[in-house]
Amino acid sequence: MAHKEFDTYWLAYLAAHSKPATRACHYVGTLLGIFIGIPLSASIAWWAFPVLGAIGYGIALASHPLVQGNRPFASRPVWGLACDLRMLLLAATNQLTPHLLRAKPSAISPSD
């Protein structure tokens, strides 16, 4: 049952991130916080992850009212992070479009 529930959440998450600019803001935020902040925190300054993580999260949150025109999709923060990482991985490997089409077919442009 948990898999089906997560899949439902995943599709709702993607529908709430249907605009490419919203997803781009999330990618920037994730890269700043996790993939830059953690290594810097471990090697140079302990405060890098909290600072860059907060900045990255702020970018992602701001994209919802400013770009997407909705509220941030944060009903389950751990699942939200999992979806954000999954969305980034699928976009990086050019495999996101089928998922977006399944989530909200009318919101996808041919360039996605």
Q: For the segment 77-87, what is each residue's pLDDT rounded down to a tens digit?
A: 899 999 999 99
pLDDT tens by residue, 29-88? 999 988 899 999 999 999 988 999 899 999 999 999 999 999 987 778 899 999 999 999
pTM: 0.84
Question: Residue 30: its pLDDT value, please?
Answer: 92
Q: Residue 20 is encoded by which pair of tokens?
A: 């490419």
Cα torsion angle, 41, 45, 46, 51, sign: negative
CA atoms within 13 A on the CB side of 86: 17
Question: Residue 74: its pLDDT value, please?
Answer: 74
